[in-house]
Amino acid sequence: MHANRLILENKTQIQTLCYHCGSECPNQSIEIDDHYFCCEGCKTVFQVLNNNQLCDYYAYNSQPGIKQSNSQWAERYAFLDRPEYWDEFISFKEKDQCRVQFYIPQMHCSSCIWLLENLFKLNDGIISNRVNFSTKELFLVFDAKKISLRQLVELLTSIGYEPKLEIQDLKMGLQLPKRNRVLKIGIAGFCFANIMMFSLPEYFNGGELVEQDLAILFRLFIFLLSLPVLFFCATEFFSGAWNGLKLKMITIDLPIALALILTFSRSVYEMQIGLSNGYLDSFSGIVFFMLLGRFIQDKSFTSLSFDRNYKSFFPIAVMAMKKSKWISTPIESIEKNDRILIHNEEIIPVDGLLLNGKASLDYSFVSGESQLSFPNCGERVYAGARQTGEAIEISVIKPVSQSYLTNLWNNEIFKTEKAKTYKEIDLIAQYFTLVVIVLALAAGIFWYTQNRPDLMWNAVTTILIVACPCALLLAASFTNGNLLRILSKNKLYLKHPSVLDQLNQIDHLVFDKTGTLTKNGSLKVSYCGTKLSQEQEIRFYSLAKQSTHPLSHSVAQFIQANQTIPVLEFKQIAGKGIEAWIQEHHVKLGSADFVHAIDPENVDHSNVHIKEDGNYLGYFSIAQEFRSGLDVLFDKLKSKYKLSMLTGDQPGATTKLLGLFHHKNAMHFGLKPIDKLDFISNHQQKQGEKILMVGDGLNDSGALKQSDVGIAVTENRNNFTPASDGILDGTSLQKLADMLLFVRDGKRTIYLIFVYSILYNIIGGYYALNGILSPLIAAILMPISSISILILSYGITAFLAWHHRLS
């Protein structure tokens, strides 16, 4: 027998389902390899997949595809060949390599994810691709020489995944509740109210109306009012259930759809035989309250997502030209046509035009390719590039896109977050729904054998409505969303909810010193050595301005020259120093080892040594100021975590540091970046520790990436690094202990809400199975359960924030 032929025991009727999409085949004329298809479109998709050895697509789910039409795309996407549209859809372009992001509304199961992640096998012009199932987004990097944007969209459409090409949706990145649902709620509410009004005589007269002709008229009105509810308002429940059945999946819409069919059919039957007005008031009430509950739930998630993506900007800043001065400016305040300065190792947060400087851009953050790009002045540079050289000046074309930066930051997360997670959620919902249907059948049979048809209908209908896995599935996602929102209000921005789970496992905290425990500004900077000429001051000022290191920043602030001059062949050696050619002079600035000098002994501050044309000139002595609140912070941390400090500085301020860490062997001085990385790796592998590294984003990127959780501390600087899992404003470091405790309590909140949800289902199920609940009350209780989860989650996390002084 053919794999996709279903035989209905109707003796003469054989129903053949399309092998690709599951639709009924009107005839059996379209066939390949013993598989039938409903149209040429579905057949074409199968041929494409089969020719590219991608038929495992059908192994994950039966008939997983989307029904194809016979429409052609010859002119439909012709506008995508016009250059002006490329800027709206292409987020990055380097030579022939382009990056694009699509919203794919048809994405619905693990087969979709598998196919979309294997698109590169369909066309060798697709370099890389990844899927974010939760937002139904597809991210692609492609070679424009081999496949154009138009051909890419046509390819996706041809296999059943037509992108939604609305520019405004791409800019927002949020799917706001559809007007269609609001209209459905309005119509369902109107019909519900009027059906109840026409049923009042029956309510008050024990089911018997005084005049029979009025009874017939009222029943007719009630029936007519129920039709828009059935054929318009309730369609999403029926379509959701039907689409699930076509894929051989039991969705949470199925029991609701069954309850609606049962209630409507029973009502029509009782009205036809003249027994009563039926239960069409309950039927319309079920639809109204269910739609209202989903609307409130969607609005809550939309609001939470908006807070997360658009209000909680990264706590970082870039140097922008404001009133003829370079001023540190928060990235959300950057506007079109602003001029910004990007230093060595900094990430460009905007699309812009290169104005000055020699750009050496690493786009691996965007494209995954580590090859450097060298645009000329006047050429376009894209957000996400990392400058690897001297400081460059950029004119802003597109302001900061928070959602775009967040997507780039989450590249690694989405590479490992496969369909497994979503398949587990599907399985939970399926098994839960299957149990509910079995219970409904059992209750119906039980009350039927007890000769109680009234309780039988109530039990079957209400258990299908009242029991819902939504609350179980909502608990973790909504609570984690609230935790992230509150943390971001306190200037700790985490890249992904999974970081919360990792923070709960931490047992060892490792701190950098310079720029982390100390402020970027200094109490006092003094110079010791050969007196510098004005020209030399300008040269060392120009060199120091190229680096983002806190000590270089302090030197530049101390010199305060009134101009900068071009820097050539700039180099930065991590953990050592910087050097360049300026005005035909070779200048170096850094540690004693870097310039081959000897550091003064027994000093309580940091030294930055300078050298010009091979001649040692002296050093800047920097007395750093420790951040306020460190004593209280470390008193809270020491009882719960093992504490260590790693720094490239020589021993200094040991009295203050010893008061924080209490043991000399917890403090490690004179370390290079590779030494910090090795320290963390050894403690992870040999001692099995879970390590949180808190350090300077750019200068500690290796250690941040190696640690289980890496948090970059920033203070009016653009030291954002993809290696970090979070960004913490320096002014909020003193809150770190409270934030970690808040996250731990947040995990307990999820368990508490799970228990609440289980108890709700048990209690509601008990009353439903005993036939005590009416369908209307069940319809009210179900959305209330989901809404109560949102309220409970919000309330508990708000209380925890207040308790930990984070509100």
Model pLDDT for residues 128-161, shown as the tens digit of each residue: 878 876 667 888 888 888 888 888 888 888 777 7
DSSP 630-681: HHHHHHHHTTTSEEEEE-SSPS--HHHHHHHH--GGGEE-S--HHHHHHHHH
Q: How confident is the model at residue 610 (pLDDT cuts 50, 70, 90)?
A: very high
Tokens, residue 749:
């909140």
- CA dist., res. 288 & res. 775, Å (int): 13
Pairing of strands 361-362, 325-330: unpaired
Same domain, 374 and 307: no
> Over the stretch 420-473, which tens digit does the pLDDT of each residue have?
444 455 566 667 778 888 888 898 899 888 888 878 877 887 887 777 665 566
Q: Are residues 526 and 434 in the same domain?
A: no
Antiparallel, parallel or unpaired: β 386-387 and 339-342: unpaired
C-alpha Rg value of the chain to the nearest Å = 33
Asked if 731 contacts 706 with a C-beta cutoff of 8 angstroms, the reply is no
- Across 175-184, 193-202, 399-408, 673-682, the highest mean pLDDT is recorded for 673-682
Residue 497 pLDDT class (50, 70, 90 cuts): confident
Residue range 408-418: average pLDDT? 50
What is the structure's pLDDT at 580? 92
Which of 170-184, 254-268, 734-748 is modeled with the greatest confidence?
734-748
Token pair of 109, please?
């199961």
With b for 16 or more beta-carbon neighbours within 10 A and e for fewer, the 530-558 pattern comes to: eebeeebbbbbbbbbbbbbbbbbbbbbeb
Report how far residue 317's alpha carbon sits from residue 158's, in angstroms, rounded to the nearest whole number.
44
Burial class (CB in 10 A: 0-12, 13-18, 19+), 305: middle
DSSP 346-366: PBP-SEEEEEES---EE-HHH
Domain boundary among 626, 648, 682: 626
CA distance to 493, 556, 596, per residue, from 544 (Å): 29, 6, 19
Q: Is residue 67 part of a domain?
A: no
Q: Identify the bridge partners of residue 482 per DSSP, sorted by sequence position.
A: none
* 107 closest CA partner among 149, 160, 56, 150: 160
Q: How far apart are CA 509 and CA 690, in angstroms?
A: 9
Say if residue 588 is in the same domain as residue 679: no
Total structural domains in the chain? 7
Q: Is residue 72 part of a domain?
A: no
Please identify which residue in the block is written with the tokens 């990792």.
502
Least confident piece of the model among 281-295, 467-481, 606-620: 467-481
How confident is the model over 625-636, as a mean pLDDT? Answer: 87
What pLDDT is stored for residue 721 in this prediction?
66
> Do 246 and 209 sit in the same domain of this protein?
yes
> Is the pLDDT reported for residue 736 higher than 90?
yes
Residues 533 and 634 in one domain: no
Share of the chain above pLDDT 90, in %: 13
CA separation for the pair 129, 741 (Å, rounded): 38
Q: Are residues 439 and 472 in the same domain?
A: yes
Closest to 494 in 3D by CA, of 703, 300, 742: 742
418/433 Cα distance (integer angstroms): 24
Question: Is 71 within the bounds of a domain?
Answer: no
Q: Which of 651-655, 664-668, 749-753, 760-764 shows the lowest per-residue confidence on average (mean pLDDT)? A: 651-655
For residue 218, the one-letter residue type is F
Q: How far apart are CA 532 and CA 553, in angstroms?
A: 19
Label residue 407 by pLDDT band (50, 70, 90).
low
- The CATH number of residue 538's host domain is 3.40.1110.10
Residue 418: pLDDT band by 50, 70, 90 thresholds? Answer: very low
How would residue 175 be classed by pLDDT, with cut points 50, 70 and 90? very low
- Bridge partners for 93 per DSSP: 98
- In terms of domains, do 53 and 97 share one? no
Model pLDDT, residue 735: 93
Distance CA 200, CA 198 (A): 6
Stretch among 107-116, 440-449, 515-524, 589-598 having the lowest mean pLDDT: 107-116
Average pLDDT of the residues in 201-208: 59
Same domain, 548 and 526: yes
Phi, psi of 292 (to 5 degrees): -65, -40
CATH of the domain at 167: 3.30.70.100
Structure tokens at 689: 């520790």
Q: Encode pLDDT of 637-677 as tens digits.
A: 988 899 998 887 767 666 677 778 877 888 888 787 888 88
Is 63 within 8 Å of 246 (Cβ atoms)?
Answer: yes
Residues 586 and 685 both lie in one domain: no
Q: Does residue 149 or residue 477 have the better pLDDT?
A: 149
Residue 712 has pLDDT above 80, yes or no: yes
Residue 176 has pLDDT above 60, yes or no: no
Q: What is the pLDDT of residues 351-387, one digit of tens each?
A: 889 998 888 888 777 666 667 888 889 888 888 888 8
Final residue of a structural domain among 122, 143, 172: 172
Where is the domain boundary, 409, 441, 467?
409
pLDDT of residue 303: 60
Is residue 534 located within the same domain as residue 486?
no
Q: Are residues 736 and 762 in the same domain?
A: no
Q: Residues 575-579: what's their mean pLDDT?
A: 85
In this prediction, residue 476 carries a pLDDT of 74
C-alpha–C-alpha distance, residues 284 and 189, integer Å: 8
Let me know whether 305 and 374 are in one domain. Answer: no
* CA-closest candidate to residue 160, choices 16, 245, 53, 38: 38
Q: State mean pLDDT over 615-619.
A: 92
Residue 695, in any domain of the structure? yes
Please check whether residue 527 is in contact with residue 620, taking contact to mean a CB–CB distance below 8 angstroms.
Answer: yes
Domain, as residue range, for 331: 317-409
Round to whole Å and give the CA distance between 236 and 241. 8
The predicted pLDDT at position 745 comes to: 92
pLDDT digits (tens, 9 = 90+) for 298-341: 666 556 554 555 455 555 678 888 888 888 888 778 888 899 98
Kindly report which listed range (134-143, 220-229, 541-550) carries the lowest average pLDDT score.
Answer: 134-143
- Chain-centroid distance of CA 354 in Å reads 31
Mean pLDDT, the chain, whole residue set:
77
Identify the pLDDT of residue 247. 59
Range 267-289 burial, b when 16+ CB lie within 10 A, else e: beebbeeeeebbbbbbbbbbbbb
What is the structure's pLDDT at 68? Answer: 47
Q: What would the mean pLDDT of 550-576 be, rounded to a whole number?
A: 84
Can you give the pLDDT at residue 618?
Answer: 92
Model confidence at 191, pLDDT cuts 50, 70, 90, reads very high
